[in-house]
A and B are shown apart, each in its own frame.
Chain A
Amino acid sequence: MMKNSLPLILFILLVILLAVGLSLDPRKVPSPFIDKSAPQFKLPQLADSTRTISSEELKGQVWLLNVWASWCRACRAEHHLLNRLVQQHDITIVGLNYKDRDNEAKQWLEDLGNPYRHVAVDMQGLTGIDWGVYGVPETFLIDQQGIIRYKNIGPVSQSDLDDIIMPMIVKLEQGAL
C-alpha cells in the first residue's frame, strides 16, 4: 500500500508546489526597504520649480509616496482612488513625478484631479533608483520616523487600500504599530 502510493504522494506534492508557484506574481519583488529608513531626497516641486520638497520636511507624519508619470497607463487606473482617499482621510500623499515632462504632468493633474500635497519632480529617475522603483506606479507608506512600512507595486486597488493600506495608516497614526 505504502509502496504504491509513493508516486501519488510525490505527484500531489509537485502539484502543490507548482500551484503555489503559479499563484505568486513574479513582478512583485520583495522590497529590501520595508522597515528601513526611507531614502532621502530633495527635489524641485512640479507646481513651482524654484521651490523644493525634501523627505526631511515630511517627517513627523504618516505619508504616502506615489510614484507616477503621465506616460504611465496604470497610473491612470489608480488615480481616482487616490483622489477619493484624500477626500475621505486627511493623509499627505506626495507624488514623485518619475521621468516625465513638466507640462504633460501638469496637464494630467488638471484633467484627472490632484490628490498630492506636493509633487516632487524626478526628471532623471535618480530618486527612483534610490527608492528601488522599477515598475511605475509604486506606492510607499512611510511612518512618522521616516521608516518605510509598506510598498505597493503596480496600481493600488480598492482592496489594497481597504484591506492593507488604510488599516496600516490608522494604526500608525495611533502609534499602535
Chain B
Amino acid sequence: MNKWIGALMLMIFSFQLSAAIEIYQFEHKQQEVLYSQLIDELRCLVCQNQNLSASNSALAKDLRHQTYQMVMEGQSQAQIMDYMTQRYGDFVLYRPPVKSSTVLLWLGPFILLLVGVWLLVSTLRKEKQQQGEQLSDEQHTHINKLLNSGDE
C-alpha cells in the first residue's frame, strides 16, 4: 500500500523534464533567460499539450531555432511572440490574450465557481430553514398528548 502511495506522490510531484537537446550559445545571460522563457511559453502545434521546450517534434525544433535566432538578433519578447501569433494564431501562446474570443476561457472558471458558491449557499439556506421550523404551542400539546397516550 505504501508503495502505491509513494508512486502516486512521485507522479504528482514529478517535475516536467525538458526535452530540448540542442545546445545554443548565448552572448548574454539575459538572452538565455529570454530564450528559455519563450520556449516555455510557446506551445508546440504538433504535440498540442507540450510547450516548445518539452517537445521533440521536428516543428518544435525548427521553432526553437527560430526563437533562438530572433533572440540573438536582439528582438524583444513581444516581437517574438507577435511573430509566432501572426503565423500560428493565439493558440501558440499558453497564456492567450484576453479578447472577445477568449473571454469565456479566462472568465469561465470564475463563473463556474460563482455558480457553485451560489448553489451551495442556497442549498444550505434551504436546509437551515427546514430545520428551524418551530412548532406552535398548540402542536406541542398535541404531540405530548399523543406521546402520553401511548404510555397508558
Inter-chain contact B88/A134, CB cutoff 8 Å: yes
CA distance A99 to B65 in the complex (A): 15
Q: Mark B68-89, 1 if CB is under 8 A from A, else 0.
A: 0000000000000000011111
Is there contact, CB below 8 Å, between B46 and A131?
Answer: no
The docked-state distance in angstroms from the alpha carbon of A129 to that of B87 is: 7
- The B-contacting residues of A in range 9-31, CB under 8 angstroms, are 26-27, 29-31
- Chain B residues with CB under 8 A of A124: 62
Residues on the A chain within 8 Å of B23, using CB: none
A44 interface hit (Cβ, 8 Å)? no
Give CA–CA (A99, B89) in the complex, Å: 22
In the complex, how many angstroms separate the beta carbon of B61 from the nearest chain A beta carbon? 10
**CB-CB < 8 A to B86: which residues of A?**
32
User: Which residues does chain B contribute within 8 Å of A31, judged by CB atoms?
Assistant: 89
Residues of chain A with a CB closer than 8 A to B37's CB: none
**How big is the B interface, by class?**
10 to 19
A32 to B87, Cβ gap below 8 A? Answer: yes
Partner among A126, A131, A134 whose Cβ is within 8 Å of the Cβ of B45: A134
The contact string, 1 if C-beta is below 8 Å from chain A, for chain B 90-110, is 110000000000000000000
Distance of A130 Cα from B62 Cα, bound (Å): 12
A130, B89: Cβ atoms under 8 Å? no
Contact mask for chain A residues 112-137; partner B; CB cutoff 8 A; 1 contact, 0 none: 00000000000011101111101100
Q: Is B34 an interface residue (CB 8 A)?
A: no
Assess whether B58 is in contact with A99, with CB atoms less than 8 Å apart: yes
CA distance A131 to B88 in the complex (A): 8
Report the Cα distance A31→B89, complex, angstroms: 6
> If the complex has contacts A26-B48, A29-B45, are A132 and B58 also in contact, measured as CB distance less than 8 A?
no
Contact with A along B53-68 (1 / 0, CB 8 A): 0000011001100100
The CA of A26 and the CA of B43, in the complex, are separated in Å by: 13
* Cβ 8 A contact of A135, one of B45, B85, B90, B91: B45
Bound-state Cα–Cα, A39 to B88, Å? 13
- Per the bound structure, the CA–CA distance linking A31 and B92 in Å amounts to 11
Judge whether A129 and B63 touch: CB under 8 Å.
Answer: yes
Q: Inside 8 A of B91's CB, which chain A residues have their CB?
A: 29-30
Complex: A135 Cα to B58 Cα, angstroms: 11
**When chains A and B are docked, how far (Å) is the Cα of A134 from the Cα of B87?**
10
Shortest C-beta distance, B105 to chain A (Å), equals: 13
The distance in angstroms between the C-alpha atoms of A31 and B62, with both chains bound, is 19
- Which B-chain residue is minimally distant from A7 (CB atoms)? B119
Task: Assess the B62–A32 pair: CB atoms within 8 A.
Answer: no
Q: How far is the CA of A99 from the CA of B61 in the complex (A)?
A: 13
Closest 3 CB pairs of A and B: A134-B45, A132-B87, A32-B89
12 contacts between A and B (CB under 8 A): A29-B45, A30-B91, A32-B85, A32-B89, A33-B87, A125-B59, A126-B66, A129-B87, A131-B87, A132-B87, A134-B59, A134-B88
Using a CB–CB distance below 8 Å, which chain A residues touch chain B? 26-27, 29-33, 99, 124-126, 128-132, 134-135
